[in-house]
Amino acid sequence: MQQFIEIYGFLSVLLRGAISAAQSLGAGGVGFLLLVLPGLGAAGAPIAAGVRTIIFWSALALVAFVALDAAALSLMLIETLELDAASAMTADAVKADALALAPALLLAAASRTRARGALVLAAAALLAARLGTTHAVSRIESPPWLALAEFAHLTGAALWIGGIPYFLLALARCDDEARAIVGRRFSRVSMAGAALVLGGGLAMSGVYIGSLEAFYGLAYGVMVGAKGALLAGLLALGACNYVAVRRLGRAGTGLRLRRFAEAEIGLGLTAILAAASLSSLPPAVDQPLGRVSLAEIIERVTPQWPIRFESPDHSALSVAQPAPDAADVQAGETAVVAAAAVARNAEDIAWSEYNHHIAGLFVLAMGFLALVEHWRRAAPAARHWPLLMLGLAGFLFLRADEAVWPLGDLGLIESLRDPEIAQHRIFLLLVVAFGLFEWRVRTKKVAAPWAPLAFPLITGLGGALLLAHSHGIADVKQEFLIEITHTPLALVGVASAAARWLEIRLPGRAGRVAGLLWPLGFMLAGLMLVVYREA
């Protein structure tokens, strides 16, 4: 059970992200059905059937995610507050979480009928029910109009991000004339959705952040900044599609429209996960203490020379020091927690910085070789760059978690009870899968048409998970200063994934330009790691 408590924070962010994605997809389908498809008349009937099917399954997925989230929260309350099961399941937080069950079931049922009123009612009730889990309702001092701003924000995300999969569905099933109608109508709907997202987000940020110092000095503000960066990327792709819609009929325009929309889905899902991570943080305005000054941030992100390429000995690390006396370890505390409780020393910091710097050299080399691969003469040798992933994974397996086997005393399985270590292992598996698969693709050992897509999918997933990743450091300021360097890495990873997706899916000049951008993104990420500092 202690293992569950330790990993609950990360698990709850993933569950909230899944709930938000299913909620946006279900409500967005209703918006697409009622605002876009009527422009096609009777010709839109086959597409409407597909839209209703997706709404149905997204609503059922939402029911499953909400039930799982409520069960996990109840279990957490039972174990941490020692409540009985009945009290935990009727706690306000659990009831607010489970409030979406009824409208989600109503939405699933309504999607099987032609009752438009029931669909609108269910979608509106679903979005309203989720308000109970947001700061707009859960905070005591929030002004009432913030609930309206949050509702507008959720509605906008559903109409815009949630509507894109249906847009792709319609484009695939339309002729040229119908495609132009769908494109123009969805363009107007998505612009309205973007306006609601921006308006609601700005209103909430003004109240929840409150000052410039809180924006850059706390994790809440940084996550809002990351969400803003993702939103800027979405708006850029949306602008490309706005232009493409008005040029439909010209050669290649329809294809560009679909490919940009596909990339929008990836960025949109990452933004939804960032929003879920944001909802798990207290608003910045409620955190008067522990803020990091601008001078501290500048001092931390300013590179120091020479770069650290010399590692301290493992025996000098805090994890290699004598274990705390058994009497000092609280009942129920695991060895992992006890190890984490030991204060970090200067050698720990040097060890971590060395790890980041060497990893940065691997990533920098990968980006450089991927860029050189575009030069025909160098391509035969440069295309093997994915094998560097295996070297990176092996290096991180040995050194990323110094308390764990083979260098540390903790067993490999036992260490997975620590959520931070478990996240590191997941990232390592992604790196290995990423490297092996991409190497086989680039050397033509895998010829399946879908195979090249594994690269952007895994890269994008890694970037999105990095946004939800946290570090178990007792010092809040130090944890923030580490995370402020990881957030740009996550954003560069997601942007590189989108560029690689467009390179694969989009022929011609646009694809070639995207093919140059993502190696540059890798090189930028490598440089960030090379100058990474923890002190």
pLDDT in tens, 47-77: 999 999 999 999 999 999 999 999 988 888 8
Answer whether residue 339 shows pLDDT above 60. Answer: no
**Whose structure tokens read 């409150």?**
210
Confirm whether 296 is domain-assigned.
yes
- 319 vs 35 pLDDT, higher one: 35
Dihedral sign for Cα atoms in the order 300, 304, 309, 310:
negative
Using 50, 70 and 90 to split pLDDT, how confident is the model at 6? low
356 DSSP 8-state letter: H
Confirm whether 133 is domain-assigned.
no
- 519 vs 284 pLDDT, higher one: 519
Beta carbons within 8 Å of 237's beta carbon, 6+ residues apart: 260, 261, 263, 264, 267, 498
Instruction: Find out whether 262 and 456 touch, Cβ atoms under 8 Å.
Output: no
Q: Which domain holds residue 443?
A: 292-322+336-529
Using 50, 70 and 90 to split pLDDT, how confident is the model at 472? low
- pLDDT for 277 equals 85
Map residue 250 onto helix, strand or coil. Answer: strand
- Tokens matching residue 102: 């009824």
Q: How many domains does the structure of the chain reveal?
A: 1
The span from the CA of 439 to the CA of 433, in Å, is 10
Q: What's the length of the chain?
A: 535
Confirm whether 191 is domain-assigned.
no
- 376 vs 85 pLDDT, higher one: 376
Confirm whether 494 is domain-assigned.
yes
Answer whether residue 288 shows pLDDT above 80. Answer: yes
- Mean per-residue pLDDT of the chain: 87
- pLDDT for 402 equals 86
- pLDDT for 439 equals 95
Answer whether residue 478 shows pLDDT above 80. Answer: no
- Tokens matching residue 34: 């009622």
| Cis-peptide into 380, omega within 30 deg | no
Confirm whether 84 is domain-assigned.
no
- pLDDT for 474 equals 55
Confirm whether 427 is domain-assigned.
yes
Confirm whether 355 is domain-assigned.
yes
Rg (CA), the chain: 24
Confirm whether 34 is domain-assigned.
no
- 168 vs 318 pLDDT, higher one: 168
**Number of C-alpha atoms within 13 angstroms, CB side, residue 142?**
23
Answer whether residue 423 shows pLDDT above 80. Answer: no
Answer whether residue 473 shows pLDDT above 60. Answer: no
* Average confidence (pLDDT) over 152-171: 95
